[in-house]
Amino acid sequence: MTGEPLPVGDSLFARMGGRKGVAHIVEAFYARVERDELLRPLFPDDLGPGREKQKLFIEQWLGGEAEYSERFGHPRLRRRHFPFVIDRRAAGRWVHHFGAALRECGVANADVATILAVLAPLAQHMVNADDDVPRTPLDDARLD
């Protein structure tokens, strides 16, 4: 799993409401993370930078502008998540909250299903709790 864009092009991005819609979805997602006793400790104290990076990533992944890659290089999502000890339960909660955020923002059920069909396996790919991986943060390092 590399975080490559969904193969549906701009139509899905447009149905999400473009950049503004993606921002709203990510804000709704992070509101859930802030209240989640399991997930909140996995995130840094300041959620702002991660929230902004996720907006850029989701926008690009849905077929919008490639600003994420222009700024940070290849997503390399698994490597970027090594500093966080992620187990299967946490990955499942992440998907649950993202799906709930999509629904809250009025995304059609068929589009929610399409998105979660890719995000669920991707979230499980981030599981690293039992892996011997480097735990040093990458910050905003550009990975090409």
Percent of the chain at pLDDT above 90? 69
Which residue range(s) make up the domain with 75?
10-125
Is the residue at 138 inside a domain?
Answer: no
CATH assignment at residue 121: 1.10.490.10
Tell me how many domains the chain contains.
1
Q: What are the pLDDT digits (tens) for 104-119?
A: 999 999 999 999 999 9
Is the residue at 73 inside a domain?
Answer: yes
Is the residue at 141 inside a domain?
Answer: no
Q: Could you tell me which residues come within 8 angstroms of residue 49 by beta carbon, excluding any fewer than 6 positions away?
A: 140
pTM of the model: 0.86
Is the residue at 3 inside a domain?
Answer: no
Which pairs with CB-CB distance under 8 Å and at least 24 residues apart come from 49-57?
49/140, 51/26, 51/27, 53/140, 54/26, 54/29, 54/30, 55/19, 55/22, 55/23, 55/26, 57/3
